[in-house]
A and B are shown apart, each in its own frame.
Chain A
Amino acid sequence: MGPIAVNRIYAALSALVLAFVVLPLVAIVWVSFFANKILSFPPTGYTLSWYARAWAQDAFRDGFITSVQTALCAVVISLALGVPASLALVRYRFPGRDAIQTLLLAPMIVPGIVGGAALFMAFIELEVLFDVEIAGTLPGLLVAHGLIALPWTVRLVTASLAGTNRSFEEAAASLGAGPLTVFFRVTLPLIKPALVAAALFSFVISFIDLEKSIFLVGPGRTTLQIALVSYLEWNLDSTVAAVAAVQILIIGALLLVSDRYARLARAF
């Protein structure tokens, strides 16, 4: 077997696998344009009416709005907590540093369902203790979503900080800049690409979360993903395909922008 034959085999296998990964997305976008009343192949024609119908569904529209609100808040929480923590992890040596790093990445490792169930129980416990409503509310959802976005921010920002030469900061300090000035004038601009990527990534991670949210949504406050799953349990039609297509478009755009700032592959 010559090297060229070997190369061809790898190229062919890669093409197959790639097709397998991309096929579902192509299929669902395609289906969202079908004119058939009941989903079947091949299509009898094409229409855009499913998109209007999807928006008219309360569950999808409200779910979309809740998801966007939640995701935006998750971005704020994960950046506000994650950036200072990353700075501490990369720029300083202190006892317990490794433990804290592991802890901050833990939400990525603990299974979503397990973490979600635990949070759900804790919320109910708090509700009983303090007589407030948490589990079905936006703040409750935000805690969960901040938690799942945080490790990705820590990962992207620590990687970026570790990759920037510390002598820039030392140069600024030697020129008379105080710690805060150094941070805002030197460090922050240097890691700006990672911050943009972390923000977009946090948004996406929160927007598509299913496992943690499933415990924490309440009547009238459902995220888009939960709305999709509950719909899918009973129906499969082009309405849901239209919602999926819109989601693919939005997330795809966000990720492409984010990839310009920091290679997404490095976040994994």
Chain B
Amino acid sequence: MSDVVLQSIVKRYETMLAVDNVSLNIRQGELVALLGPSGCGKTTILRMIAGFVPVSEGRITVGGRDLTRLPPAKRNMGFGFQNYALFPHMSVGENVAFGLEMRKLPKADIARKVKLALERVRLGHLAERLPKQLSGGQQQRVALARALVIEPDVLLLDEPLSNLDAQLRNDMKLEIREIQHSLGITTIFVTHDQDEALSVADRVVVMRAGRIEQQGTPDEVFAHPRSHFVAEFMGVTNLLQGRSEGAERFRLATGEVVAVPAASPAVGDFAIAVRPESVSLNAGDPLARNALFAQVDLATYRGLVIDYRLKTASGLIVIARRPSPAVGGPAPLAAGERVQMSWRPEAGVLVPL
């Protein structure tokens, strides 16, 4: 079993607290994404698990074994570096063989395992090449093969997709997921890209300023952000401040009263998070709940969609997103046009300020 358990991990540098009391349980075979902006401590956590960075306080165990003070060489973890860190003076095959040589395996075993590992990432034919003769995507796959060939207890990936272009990134996402599922290896991967985290991970851990802000399945985190920060990070552009008055009533800071879901917390200051996709324009029913009149302030054409910045007479600003005519959407609206915007009360999530 390789459950990874972080108990109250703290990392202190001279002048700052990089990781502030983080506890996390990761089950055997789970794929967890640590998600957050740069400097939130996610990479530090990954490097502490690998043993590259000493832990200031707390314990790290894998399958019950305490690794906190073990050097990286004794932890049996596979690490994928953001820049791949392939040894430039060794061929692809030698790179993959390195970890096996360190484990003093017989030559024949090493050759066989290297061959298998490279075939798994479809690079069997490039074993003699040097890393710099490979494309970025190929280098990433070599790095993955090198990390996996040692049959690690845990696979740690630091921004594995950030150096690839958009198309490759999609392929690589699928590939990482496939390999992870077929091997059933516990995997922790660090990213700043919410889309990456949501599409690859079983569980997303959102971090902010050295702490865990929220964790859950991709759907939980995406649909039910529990804080202003998570909502914003998940791409919610409308965070409308105001006060919850109970009985599903919410008074916006600009004065309008709108409806919120029944399960919302009672009285207090909150913001309603409404995705721009949830805002309808001129839906036709003048009596729809949460219907407000506004003027198109700015229209931004984005290919598949058009974003409209809408402004009410009271000064409330809401972004609405509609399919563009290119994909069969309605005719675009011009700046200055008056519209009625509305959203279903269930589309709003109350988050603390």
Contact = CB atoms under 8 A, between A and B. Distances in A.
A and B touch in the complex (CB under 8 A): yes
Interface of A: 2-4
Interface residues of B, number: 4
Nearest to B70: A2
A4 B53 CA distance: 11
Interface in B59-115: 69, 71-72
A2 B54 CA distance: 11
Nearest to A3: B71
A4 B69 CA distance: 10
**Which of B54, B69, B71, B72 has the most C-beta atoms of chain A within 10 angstroms of its own C-beta?**
B71
B269 to A, nearest CB: 49
Contacts of A4: 54
Contacts of B69: 2
Judged by DSSP, the binding face of B is: loop
A230 to B, nearest CB: 52
A250 to B, nearest CB: 36
Nearest to A2: B71
A2 B68 CA distance: 12
Judged by DSSP, the binding face of A is: helix
Interface of B: 54, 69, 71-72
A234 to B, nearest CB: 54
Contacts of B54: 3-4
Contacts of A3: 54, 71-72
Contacts of B71: 2-3
Contacts of A2: 69, 71
6 contacts: A2-B69, A2-B71, A3-B54, A3-B71, A3-B72, A4-B54
B54 to A, nearest CB: 8
A9 to B, nearest CB: 14
A10 to B, nearest CB: 15
A216 to B, nearest CB: 48
A40 B69 CA distance: 52
A3 B69 CA distance: 10
B8 to A, nearest CB: 22
Nearest to A4: B54
A88 to B, nearest CB: 34
A2 B69 CA distance: 9
Nearest to B52: A3
The 6 tightest CB contacts between A and B, nearest first, are A2-B71, A3-B71, A2-B69, A3-B54, A4-B54, A3-B72
B289 to A, nearest CB: 57
A2 B72 CA distance: 9
A3 B54 CA distance: 9
A4 B55 CA distance: 13
A164 B158 CA distance: 34
A186 B251 CA distance: 59
A5 to B, nearest CB: 9
A2 B71 CA distance: 6
A4 B71 CA distance: 9
B105 to A, nearest CB: 22
A68 B201 CA distance: 71
A45 B69 CA distance: 53
A3 B47 CA distance: 14
B108 to A, nearest CB: 30
Contacts of B72: 3
A152 B322 CA distance: 65
A167 B71 CA distance: 48
A100 to B, nearest CB: 33
A3 to B, nearest CB: 5
A3 B72 CA distance: 9
A2 B51 CA distance: 11
A151 B335 CA distance: 65
Nearest to A5: B71
A2 B75 CA distance: 12
A67 B71 CA distance: 56
A4 B72 CA distance: 12
Nearest to B74: A2
A3 B71 CA distance: 6
A262 to B, nearest CB: 28
A182 to B, nearest CB: 39
B94 to A, nearest CB: 25
A58 B70 CA distance: 67
B253 to A, nearest CB: 46
A102 B72 CA distance: 46
A3 B73 CA distance: 10
B20 to A, nearest CB: 24
A239 B127 CA distance: 69
B274 to A, nearest CB: 45
A1 to B, nearest CB: 8
Nearest to B69: A2
A99 to B, nearest CB: 31
B315 to A, nearest CB: 42
A2 B70 CA distance: 8
B71 to A, nearest CB: 5
A194 to B, nearest CB: 32
